Amino acid sequence: MRQIAYQRAGSVDEAVQAAAQPEAAFLAGGTSLVDLMKLEVLNPARVVDVTRLDLSRIEPRADGIRLGATATNSAVAAHPEVKRRFPALSQALLSGASPQLRNVATVAGNLMQRTRCAYYRDLATRCNKRSPGAGCDAIEGWTRMHAILGGSEQCIALHPSDMCVALAALEATIHVRGQRGERDIPFGDFHLLPGDHPEREFALEPGELVTWVFVPATAAAARSRYVKVRDRISYAFALASCATALEVANGRIEVARIALGGVGTKPWRSLEAERMLVGATPRAETFRRAADVALRDARPRRDNAFKVELAKRTMIRALTLSAEGA
């Protein structure tokens, strides 16, 4: 790890000011950042610790729930209102990482989680995300754990988060504060596609701090489900995962929300598949057609063609569970 200056922010304003300096990074649970600093993949000269700011509250409201940026993954997953009104969120969090990591990993840290692309993490290889313009050794390399949706000729790094898949389906909003004030970012706009600039990963201005995430309460959200398929039964990243939320009335789907994990360069919401389901009867053939649509643009590489069918089956399974609950 390179040398750093450590600063513990005493207030949100102080944190925002400190992080607006060049080469500064916010530090919360450290489970991503400290790991990547040790590997010298991320090399901030200054880390601004935000864990002692008053940002860890979980506040249920009539119209939804506000998750403080530094609320831990454990706290959010175990919160009775999260379990009752947003089950997919709790399920997604509990399916990720290990208890030790979830005890310190935060909401905002999970939003900012970096890819697990082995090439990104290895300084001996070329990576456009790590060193813009350097080239990408993943595209022609070992691609079993790479994205099949949302990739570009510069980057096919997979987005690793479980929580973000649930928040994408639940249509969360991300509230940030920067030097120019506060603003809300719709979840779908927060993570950027790699395109020609895979080094740009988030729709954040320098120094902008995530302060909370708002998740709106809906009838569909209360029946949301998260299904994750991985190489072993616990403590592994998704090969494919899916968060679904359905509202069914008189045998017809009225609301459908679908997001996929383990397949995209960002948490992958499928608006097309959602539109297809509205008005339809919730049954296996319908779900299969929606899954075909969701994966229509999939572009598998040498080692990950299996993800196309696996993601479809995972989505059908999640939709089936949501329909049973609806």
Partner 1 sequence: MNDNHSDDGLGRREFLVGGAVIVVAACAGGQARREGTGPSAPGEPMEITLLVNGERRALRVDPRTTLLDLLRENLGLTGTKKGCDMGQCGACTVLADGVRIDSCLALAAQYDGRSITTIEGLIKDGTLHPAQEAFLQEDAFQCGYCTPGQILSCIGFLHEGGGATEMEIREGMSGNICRCGAYPNIVSAVRSLRGRA
**Contact residues for partner 1, defined by CB under 8 A:** 1-11, 14, 18, 27, 29-31, 34-35, 37-38, 45-47, 49, 51-52, 74, 97-101, 103-104, 233-235
d(CA 124, CA 270): 36
Q: In the bound complex, what is the minimum distance in angstroms from residue 110's beta carbon to partner 1?
A: 14
Spatial contact of 123 and 244, defined as CB atoms under 8 Å apart: no
In the complex with partner 1, the residue whose CB is nearer, 121 or 197, is 121
Strand pairing partners for 186? 173
What are the C-alpha distances in Å from 31 to residues 101, 102, 105? 7, 9, 6
Q: In the bound complex, what is the minimum distance in angstroms from residue 47's beta carbon to partner 1?
A: 8
d(CA 289, CA 283): 10
In the complex with partner 1, the residue whose CB is nearer, 229 or 316, is 229
For residue 245, give the nearest of 267, 213, 277 by alpha carbon.
Answer: 277
In the complex with partner 1, the residue whose CB is nearer, 96 or 264, is 96
In the complex with partner 1, the residue whose CB is nearer, 74 or 173, is 74
Q: In the bound complex, what is the minimum distance in angstroms from residue 280's beta carbon to partner 1?
A: 36
Burial class (CB in 10 A: 0-12, 13-18, 19+), 298: buried
Strand pairing partners for 228? 241
The sign one gets for the Cα dihedral 300, 195, 258, 118 is positive
In the complex with partner 1, the residue whose CB is nearer, 100 or 281, is 100
Amino acid residing at 275: R
Q: In the bound complex, what is the minimum distance in angstroms from residue 35's beta carbon to partner 1?
A: 5
| Eight-state DSSP code of residue 159 | P
Q: In the bound complex, what is the minimum distance in angstroms from residue 72's beta carbon to partner 1?
A: 9
Q: In the bound complex, what is the minimum distance in angstroms from residue 236's beta carbon to partner 1?
A: 9
In the complex with partner 1, the residue whose CB is nearer, 9 or 243, is 9
In the complex with partner 1, the residue whose CB is nearer, 211 or 265, is 211
What are the C-alpha distances in Å from 106 to residues 42, 56, 93, 204, 300? 19, 9, 11, 18, 32
The sign one gets for the Cα dihedral 82, 87, 90, 93 is negative
Q: In the bound complex, what is the minimum distance in angstroms from residue 288's beta carbon to partner 1?
A: 31
